Amino acid sequence: MLTEKGLWTRLLTRLIFTGPTLFAFATVMIIPFLYGIYLTFTNWDGIAIDQNFVGWDNYIGVFKDTVFWKSFGMTLEYVFITVVLTNAVAFLLAYAVTRGMKAQGWFRAGFFLPNLVGGIVLGFIWQFIFNQVLVFAGQKMNLTLFSTSWLADPDKAFWALIVVTVWQYAGYMMVIYIAGLMNVPKDVMEAASIDGASNRKMLARIVLPLMVPSFIVCIFLSLQRGFMVYDLNVSLTSGGPFKSTEMVSMHVYEQAFLARDYGLGQAEAFVLFILVAAITLLQVYFSKKLEVEA
């Protein structure tokens, strides 16, 4: 039975334990998210005190904004390539540094290093490498591939972005794959090797199937990070040359804060949210199906 005093202490406990988190969560994520949906139906310019209701105009605007779709398509391509490459490199690295070799700890620490540094700083470091170091080396050694800066060529700038992304995230995903590899039961491996399975067969028939959960996590993370790429984009190429590497996240930022079209920018951000949510949920759904019962 609830006495009034009991009710108050119950409420107080709830307030103390969940109050701060839920209040911050609601006011920072939920309310802005819902208000954001409302904003997509208005035409705020960032200065005016009130905004007008414009109905579906912004969404029609999204469909007409060819630059948005171009950068969205490019982002898809970028995400696809980086997800595949990052995870392939990460898995190979993880496999290599869990085989009981000398100095494994050092290798792990080295491969993880780029993840300690923010995308802005990494982008600037690589800007220097692409603009100065590689050009210098290319001219010295007569390598036409490097003799002009990658960042000045629209196609190569895109690949520069990919190279840096893979270099940045491979170490992070490697750590997750290491955890997965260490969770593969030793007795199963031993049994297989007694039965005469070769290393390659063991990898294909035992290790990889048991690692599906790690792949789900890593692909999920690299998908999310790929779609949201912003820091690196800004500092490495700043979307150039000629907007050729402006990823969708940067485009949304420019549309809202620089072109001062907040309604359209928000509508594009919302379309982005729907598409990303759909893709990640599909990925998780289909990869869960692959999971073996342990």
Residues in 159-198 at the binding interface with another protein, rule: CB under 8 A: 167, 171-172, 175-176, 178-179, 183
* Binding test (CB under 8 A) with another protein, winner from 84, 117, 191, 282: 117
Peptide bond into 154 cis (omega under 30): no
Q: Point out which residues pair with 42 in neighbouring strands.
A: 53
The answer to whether 93 contacts another protein (rule: CB under 8 A) is yes
* Binding test (CB under 8 A) with another protein, winner from 61, 114, 226, 239: 114
DSSP state of 56: T
Q: Which two tokens stand for residue 26?
A: 């609601």
Per-residue binding string, another protein, 220-259, x by CB under 8 A, is -x--x--xx-xx--xx-------------x--xx--xx--
> Which residue's entry shows tokens 């190429």?
237
The answer to whether 61 contacts another protein (rule: CB under 8 A) is no
Least separation in angstroms between residue 154's CB and another protein is 21
* Binding test (CB under 8 A) with another protein, winner from 101, 145, 258, 294: 101
* Binding test (CB under 8 A) with another protein, winner from 7, 8, 13, 208: 13
The answer to whether 91 contacts another protein (rule: CB under 8 A) is no
Least separation in angstroms between residue 234's CB and another protein is 8
The answer to whether 16 contacts another protein (rule: CB under 8 A) is yes
The answer to whether 121 contacts another protein (rule: CB under 8 A) is yes
CB-nearer residue toward another protein: 33 or 80: 33
**Residue (of 239, 245, 248, 294) closest to 269 by Cα position:** 248
The answer to whether 116 contacts another protein (rule: CB under 8 A) is yes
The answer to whether 266 contacts another protein (rule: CB under 8 A) is yes
Sign of CA dihedral 147, 150, 152, 156: positive
Q: What angle do CA 34, 220, 155 make, to 5 degrees?
A: 95
Question: What does residue 53 show for φ and ψ, rounded to 5 degrees?
Answer: -80, 125
Q: Cα–Cα distance between 252 and 241 in angstroms, integer?
A: 18
Site for another protein in 138-157 (CB under 8 A): none
The answer to whether 6 contacts another protein (rule: CB under 8 A) is no
- Answer left, alpha or beta for residue 260, where phi above 0 means left and psi between -120 and 50 means alpha: left
> Which residue's entry shows tokens 């005190």?
49
The answer to whether 208 contacts another protein (rule: CB under 8 A) is no
Q: What angle do CA 133, 161, 239 make, to 5 degrees?
A: 105
